[in-house]
């Protein structure tokens, strides 16, 4: 499986990372190198193996479905790059 620059650009767009054509040219062989190496996993017979879901046996706990913390609007917004009237603001998304 070989990754070309078009694939790199597609993956970058899925990952929401802007890349230039020059970046894609540089990244394609790097990613191919790494992906080529990890493909050796294909030689392991895993037909009767379950994929790991928890590394240490543990019980997933459930908590009561109640509000435990609230009234923290200022704290939540404290590090926002841009906030207005108690909201996070983003560029206009509705025309």
Partner 1 sequence: MTELTDLGIAALRDGIRAKTFSAREVADAFIVKVSAAKALNAFIVETPEHALEAAKAADEAVAAGETLKPLAGVPIGMKDLFATKGVQTTAASHILEGFKPVYESTVSAKLWDAGAGMLGKLNLDQFAMGSSNETSYFGNVVSPWRRGANGIGARDNAPLAPGGSSGGSSAAIAARIVPGATGTDTGGSIRQPAAFTGISGIKPTYGRCSRWGVVAFASSLDQAGPMARSVQDCAILLENMAGFDPKDSTSLQLPVPDWETALSGDLRGKKVGIPAEYRLDGMSNEIAALWQQGIDWLKDAGAEIIDVSLPHTKYALPAYYIIAPAEASSNLARYDGVRYGLRDLPEGANLQDMYAATRAAGFGEEVKRRILIGTYVLSAGFYDAYYTQAQKVRTLIAQDFENAFSICDLLLTPTAPSAAFALGENADPLAMYMNDVFTVPASLAGLPAMSVPGGIDKAGLPLGLQIIGKPLDEQGVLNAGLAIEQRAGFTARPEVWW
Query: Does residue 2 belong to the site contacting partner 1 (CB under 8 A)?
Result: no
- How far is residue 77's CA from residue 93's CA, in Å, rounded to a whole number? 20
Residue from 79, 84, 85, 86 touching partner 1 (CB under 8 A): that is 79
DSSP state of 49: -
Torsion of CA 19, 22, 28, 33, to 10 degrees: -110
3-62 binders of partner 1 (CB under 8 A): 3, 7-8, 11-19, 27, 30-31, 33-35, 37-42, 44, 46, 49-56, 58-61
Query: Does residue 66 belong to the site contacting partner 1 (CB under 8 A)?
Result: no
Q: For residue 21, what are the contacts with CB-CB under 8 A and spacing of at least 6?
A: 5
Residue from 66, 75, 84, 86 touching partner 1 (CB under 8 A): that is 75
């Amino acid at each position: 499986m070989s990754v070309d620059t078009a694939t790199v650009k597609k993956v970058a767009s899925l990952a929401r990372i802007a890349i230039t054509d020059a970046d894609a040219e540089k990244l394609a062989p790097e990613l191919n190198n790494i992906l080529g190496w990890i493909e050796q996993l294909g030689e392991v017979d895993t037909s009767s193996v379950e994929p790991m879901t928890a590394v240490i046996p543990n019980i997933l706990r459930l908590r009561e479905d109640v509000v435990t913390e609230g009234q923290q609007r200022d704290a939540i917004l404290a590090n926002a790059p841009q906030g207005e009237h108690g909201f996070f603001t983003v560029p206009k998304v509705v025309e």
